Amino acid sequence: MALPNNNPTQTIAWQQLTDHFNEIKDIKIQDLYKHDDRQKDFSLTLNDLSVDFSKNRITSETIKLLVDLAKEIGLQEAIESQFNGEVINVTENRAVLHTALRSNSEDPVLVEGKNIKPQIQTALRKIRSFSNKVISGKWKGYTGKSITDIVNIGIGGSDLGPDMIVESLQYYKNHLNTHFVSNVDGDHVSEIMKRLDPETTLFVIVSKTFTTQETITNAETLKNWFLKSATIFDIPKHFVAVSTNLVAVDNFGIDKANVFTMWNWVGGRFSLWSAVGLSISLSVGFENYKALLDGAEEMDIHFRNESFETNIPVILALLSVWYNNFYGAETEAVLPYSQYLKKLPDYLQQAIMESNGKGVDRNGDKIDYQTGTIVWGSTGTNMQHAFMQLVHQGTKLIPADFIGYKESLYGLTDHHKKLMANYYGQIDALAFGKTKEDVHLELQVSGNADKINTLLPFKVFEGNRPSNAILFDKLTPKSLGKLVAFYEHKIFTQGIIWNIYSYDQFGVELGKELAKKLLKKQ
């Protein structure tokens, strides 16, 4: 079944949401909070994850109408189409099955009539056995030494996902040093080369197409550097590839046994769950990599089966639509209170903006409503000393996701208490602000009554700034898998509502073509 094809603004629910918005647009979170059960009424849980979305400019009626919109649009049917392997990436004529990569169920998933589950299992076994050999030191380089360094060569989805996960799971890392080369800027690869020993380095070239200029250029440079000390016969011990383009991989000189396949039904920015995640498995071990996949599967099952009212990705996607399309918010902040997650905003920028940055609907018509949000962010508490001034007192409405963990990994409880006090402090400051009366009193009590006239307006916080508190027990491979899958399903839900194709990315092509033309002229 094809994806539903409805202009969201022409639905009954959208009309009702417009009327509802006009009625409640000036509501204040501060006033909404006068009702006792708000936190309980606007919270959702999934085992070790709880999501408190009570500090939003919404009432129960808002949620009801947003859920009506999702139903009227045909979201449930669209979810089934995706999970069942229908060709929902219509413009590229492909199914979209990153969910199948992490499925433990025996149920077959068919692509062109063939069950893909067995090939996924075979690929996982290959990742496991290769990772075990390299980590245990059994895999030897050309001079008989074990591997010490892994270099992931890729860009976009072939870099951002693995890089973000390896950074986020640093606590679980083994002895291997992992490096990521992506930029075609030669200074990037040069800086990394400085730190490598050709005898003990393993290069993982990751490119779905194996034609990407940046990746092939970096791979050639590293191969030439390697060949300064080794011979072409040593390449099999030091170069492996992850790709769908087996011919190009072969032409590059990679041994057939060292090729990890991926498939057209996995989009680049959703591919860390495939062999694109090989660097993850090498860095943290296959068991942890598998736990990451299991966490994602838990979110998949929730997303597919939970009714929309209590479905975490659906509700947060709808809230984002509420701010984007009704309040006119242009950006969203992702603010993890964990230094480990410092690369999450970069990763999400590709996942969200490459997917939903579209201006043409599923009929090919130009869209006259807003689609993809701009996403940005950084880690707490650092960002509190950087951009949060604007989020608190600036003129823009910026809904924010605060991601936190109840427990820290190293157990420095004093630090963690302070970290989480800041997490909740920022959320409350955004929502509740500080009134004129509070500022007045504060200046008086601190002996600054003479400054009230001059300082008061600058010290007032209006509040009423929305946020979601996304809280896990602990940062583990499993909880991280759940978090990433949550954002993937949020992206999908929004693409369905906005009636766009989320899984192509033609917008990145023109610049590439022009760069190639300019290069030829040089």
Residue 492 carries which side chain, given as an amino acid letter?
F
Report the residue number, 115 or 221, with the smaller CB distance to ligand F6P.
221
Q: How far is the CB of 207 from ligand F6P (least distance, A)?
A: 3
Among 155, 161, 218, smallest CA distance to 187 is for: 218
Report the residue number, 3 or 155, with the smaller CB distance to ligand F6P.
155
Q: How far is the CB of 211 from ligand F6P (least distance, A)?
A: 7
Q: How far is the CB of 229 from ligand F6P (least distance, A)?
A: 27
Structure tokens at 332: 């969203």
Report the residue number, 268 or 295, with the smaller CB distance to ligand F6P.
268
| Residue 459: C-alpha distances to residues 165, 335, 397, 436, 453 (Å) | 40, 24, 19, 8, 11
DSSP three-state, residue 504: coil
Contacts with ligand F6P by CB under 6 A lie at: 155-158, 207-209, 212, 215, 268-269, 354, 505, 508
DSSP strand E in 419-466: where? none
Cβ distance 379 to 334 under 8 Å?
Answer: no
Tell me the catalytic residues.
Answer: 354, 385, 512
- Quote the CA–CA distance of 165 and 452 in Å, as a whole number: 49
Q: How far is the CB of 216 from ligand F6P (least distance, A)?
A: 8
Q: How far is the CB of 347 from ligand F6P (least distance, A)?
A: 11
Residue 485 CB-density burial (10 A; 0-12 exposed, 13-18 middle, 19+ buried): buried
Report the residue number, 65 or 151, with the smaller CB distance to ligand F6P.
151
Report the residue number, 155 or 296, with the smaller CB distance to ligand F6P.
155
Kindly report the length of the chain.
Answer: 522
Report the residue number, 47 or 211, with the smaller CB distance to ligand F6P.
211
Residue with the two structure tokens 């647009």: 25
Cβ distance 488 to 79 under 8 Å?
Answer: no
Q: What is the 3-state secondary structure (H, E, C) of 328-380?
A: CCCEEEEEECCHHHCCHHHHHHHHHHHHHCCCECCCCCECCCCCCCEEEECCC
Q: How far is the CB of 88 from ligand F6P (least distance, A)?
A: 17
